[in-house]
Amino acid sequence: MLCLRAVVYLFILVNLGGAAGNFEELSARATAARQANDVPGAIELYRQALQLNSKWDEGWWFLGSLLYDSDQYPDGRDALNHFVDLQPKAAPAWGLLGLCEFETGEYPQSLSHIQRSLSLSAPSDPQMDVVLRYHEALLLTREGDFDKALQKYSRFARDGAQNKSILLGIGLAVLRTPLLPKDIRAEKEDLFLTAGKAASYRMAGNVTEGDQAFRDLLTRFPTAANVHYAYGLTLLATDPDQGIEEFEAELQNNPGNTAADSMLAWVLLRRSEYQTALPYAEKAAQADPNSAIAQFVFGRSLVETGAVDRGIQHLETGAKLDPKFLESHLSLATTYARIGRNQDARRERQISMDLTKETTSVAQR
């Protein structure tokens, strides 16, 4: 007669063998159902197989993909989280996870995971790459990082994109409005669509069409927030005097517009009008102490008007807030050299050269 321990051991062996057999069968059936485009059947079979083998990474990937394609975003998110735990360098999975999180309203996680996907490898699926970069721009806008969002949108503008959702997204970014297109009220849609068209023309290099579109925007929405500011930005390279007028018009309409204060100060600094720039820069830095640009223009204004030590503090703050903001490092290098802090000046010059090379490399891709 078998002892109790032997019976238990035999029971375990039999059940493990059965489970393994069931897993092989279920995984094969799941694959067949997926290949036959039986999505509901495949989802159920993948779920059953994964209950028997939770380390089956391929199963989590296909389950997550099928759930995403079926608009079952919370379950798709959960499945893809399992997959990236097993395969943390799988760029497509991080992207799909971020898209699921976008649909479930988990926006900070979505942006982080989409950017992780984009950083892991060169895109193997051009269509997926476009979708991820579009959502990255949407989420950067929602977070208030409008300048970076516009950098992302520039590729769509250069490609001549006239998709309404993309134009609305560009309009939100150029008018510095931290919303998603779906959150725009109906009565505001025309404002953002018109702004998006104007900005997309300019980003694509169509200066004549862009200028006309901006004039149309100003005529139809003369007091809307950031309309004059956005037009002023486009004029800086070709007509800085009119650009200044647009920034001043923006501040008349919206006195609390920190971005307009910062850019007006910047233009005045470039014209060596340091004393005139100072009050605009100070106002911007006080209103938005976490703005790298505001800290830069205030620091530079202070240095050039004689308050060097205080100015350095603000320039250093700006460099910490955005380590890749070239202007802060250039100004620090010049100011350090002026007061004999030569080692610090050399460090900032090296950082500036590295940033310039990095920017050139990105632009050439």
Instruction: Report how far apart, in Å, the C-alpha atoms of 95 and of each of 115, 131, 145, 154, 329 are.
Output: 8, 9, 20, 21, 34
Task: Give mean pLDDT, residues 6-26.
Answer: 50
**pLDDT score of 135 more than 90:** yes
Residue 250's pLDDT band (cuts 50, 70, 90): very high
Task: Give mean pLDDT, residues 340-355.
Answer: 96
Nearest to 51, CA basis, from 23, 80, 78, 77: 23
pLDDT in tens, 217-248: 999 999 999 999 999 999 998 899 999 999 99
Please tell me the pTM assigned to this model.
Answer: 0.86
- pLDDT the model gives residue 329: 96
Contacts of 158 (CB under 8 A, 6+ apart): 203, 204, 205
pLDDT in tens, 39-86: 999 999 999 999 999 999 999 999 999 999 999 999 999 999 999 999
The residue behind tokens 């820069």 is 281
- pLDDT the model gives residue 200: 94
CB atoms under 10 Å from CB of 40, counted, come to 10
Nearest to 325, CA basis, from 304, 302, 296: 296
Q: How many CA atoms lie within 13 A of 306 on its CB side?
A: 1
**Two tokens, residue 225:** 């927030």
Please determine whether the domains at 28-122 and 281-359 fall in the same fold group of CATH.
yes
Task: Give mean pLDDT, residues 25-33.
Answer: 94
Instruction: Report how far apart, in Å, the C-alpha atoms of 235 and of each of 220, 239, 282 are.
Output: 19, 5, 24
**pLDDT score of 6 more than 80:** no
Which residue did the predictor score with more confidence, 136 or 239? 136
pLDDT in tens, 270-326: 999 999 999 999 999 999 999 999 999 999 999 999 999 999 999 999 999 999 999
- pLDDT the model gives residue 158: 83
Per CATH, the homologous superfamily of domain 281-359 is: Tetratricopeptide repeat domain (1.25.40.10)
Specify the CATH number of the domain 28-122.
1.25.40.10
Task: Give mean pLDDT, residues 17-33.
Answer: 79
- pLDDT the model gives residue 1: 41
pLDDT in tens, 176-225: 999 999 999 999 999 999 999 999 999 988 889 999 999 999 999 999 99
Residue 15's pLDDT band (cuts 50, 70, 90): very low
- pLDDT the model gives residue 11: 32
**pLDDT score of 14 more than 60:** no
Q: What are the sequence ranges of the domains in the chain?
A: 28-122, 281-359
> 293 phi and psi, to 5 degrees?
-65, -45
